Amino acid sequence: MSGCDTLLAELGLNMERHGELVENLGRTYREKVLSQPDRPASMAYFDSAIHELHGDRIREIFEARAAGRKMIGTFCIYVPEEIVFAAGAIPVALCGGTAWSIPYAEQTFPREICPLVKSTLGLAFSDTCPFAPLEDLAVGETTCDAKKKTWDILGGDGFHVLHLPHKKTDAARRLWLREVRAFAGRVEHLTGVRITARSLGQAARLMNRKRRLLGRLAGFQRSAAPPISGTDALVVMQVALVDEPQRFCGAVARLLEELRRRVRQGVTVARPGAKRVLLAGCPAVAGNYKVHHVIESSGALVVANESCTGSRYFEHPVDARRRTRGGLLAAIADRYFRIDCSCFTPNDERVRSVVRMARRAKADAVVQYVLQYCHTYNMEAVRIAEALQRAGLPSLTIGTDYADQDTGQIRTRVEALIEGLRS
């Protein structure tokens, strides 16, 4: 047993199953990420960060907790990280991206629930999630039916549920602001740390920096001859959700530096004539590279990603110029309320945004990625496909889970789409 394994065993993980999980994640990562040709050397940091989610990052959080900091588990990008950091706590996204854990959820949960929720629950139920024993508070939200009811089942005092409204009216905005304030109160209560204008402003500037850097990465992705693959950009996003932000920003800055050099030297990951794809829809959290891999190993390139592990995470800075705690909390509430999750009705902003992103990235086609049984993205895909058609942009909607069984079928559909673009 390595040092980290000793720690994980002490934390009460089922080490046999955890070994299986890590082996499984490692294999997927080798096959779908490490196998890519011409990767930027600076991706080494992010590869390592993904790997150390079951190692050094756990130790780091374990030690931070020993020093009095709290860890807060999250399942959605609507949870304002600024508030968590302002109280000196550590937010970690706990969404599961692996098919491996799903059978553990299906023992007690309905099967007809999206793979992300089942994978997350399966990690909890199989005692293999290394963050679970370190979690001082879990934060759920009311985004979708499946997640909302998950909190009921997992719930209790260790769960805080953010009430996200589903219309963007003024009344809904006020409710959301109240929720954001209440969350700040809950975090203060948990940590014993008073959130101030100063700490909140610092956290907002740090998160804005992270967003800016990720925005620049997206800029490289959508350039004429992208120096980085969509799969690698996804890995960076996945690390953003779990990593220590200062260090993460440094690593992204180094990556951007390398990408700048690549552009100067004319190095691109795009094969000649490669078709450009905007991937839009559901998130692909750590462990999940399925659709990115199919698209990019079919000779096309993901030049933009409209998702919670893409543009939805880094768009719109917080107005960090506000000087008071209340003003900053309001600015934070505003920023998060701009996220155009499909849980909103109506959601015309998102329909327009997908078309705009596709044009901006000079995408040849759009692939809508819908996690199986995710009703809101699945149904919104109908409207978006219509809007894309009106805009003269070919599109394809892929509804799938985390299993590999349908990969061949998806590949056939993606290849047909790409083939159609050539003719």
Least Å from the CB of residue 54 to its own copies: 29
Using the rule CB under 8 A, which residue among 8, 144, 233, 339 binds its own copies?
A: 144
Q: Return all residues near 413 (Cβ < 8 A) that are at least 6 apart.
A: 396, 398
The helix or strand, by DSSP H or E, that contains position 101, with its residue range, turns out to be: none
3-state SS, residue 304: strand
The answer to whether 165 contacts its own copies (rule: CB under 8 A) is: yes
Nearer to its own copies (CB atom), residue 172 or residue 267: 172
- Residue 182: CB atoms within 10 A of its CB come to 13
151 touches its own copies (CB under 8 A): yes
- Helix 43-51 / helix 245-265 crossing angle, nearest 10 deg: 140
Which is closer to its own copies, CB of 25 or CB of 354?
354
Distance in Å, CB of 373 to its own copies, minimum:
6
Spell out, one character per residue from 394 to 423, where the chain touches its own copies: x when CB under 8 A holds, - when not.
-----x------------------------
CB of 389 to its own copies, least distance (A): 12
Q: What's the residue count for the chain?
A: 423
Closest alpha carbon to 362 in 423, 283, 275, 296: 275
Could you give phi then psi for residue 268, rounded to 5 degrees?
A: -135, 155
Q: Which residue, 41 or 171, has its beta carbon nearer to its own copies?
A: 171
For the chain, the straight-line distance linking the first and the last C-alpha, in angstroms and rounded, comes to 56
Measured over the CA atoms of residue 403, residue 407, residue 409 and residue 410, the dihedral's sign is: positive
The rounded distance, in Å, linking the Cα atoms of 52 and 60 is 10
- Residue closer to its own copies by CB (options 134, 146) is 146
Only one of the segments 15-23, 242-250, 342-350, 400-408 lies at the binding site for its own copies (rule: CB under 8 A); that segment is 342-350
The Cα 204–Cα 37 span in angstroms is: 37
Question: Does 155 contact its own copies by CB under 8 A?
Answer: yes
Subset of 100-139 contacting its own copies (CB under 8 A): 108-110, 112-113
Residue 306 binds its own copies, judged by CB under 8 A: no
Interacting residues with its own copies between 370 and 389 (CB under 8 A): 372-373, 375-376, 378-383
Q: Packing angle between helix 43-51 and helix 15-29, nearest 10 degrees?
A: 160
Q: Which two tokens stand for residue 205?
A: 């500037």
146 binds its own copies (CB under 8 A): yes
Closest distance between its own copies and the C-beta of residue 106, in Å?
A: 12
* Site of interaction with its own copies (CB under 8 A): 108-110, 112-113, 142, 144-146, 148-153, 155, 161, 163, 165-167, 169, 171-172, 175, 178-179, 342-343, 345-347, 372-373, 375-376, 378-383, 399
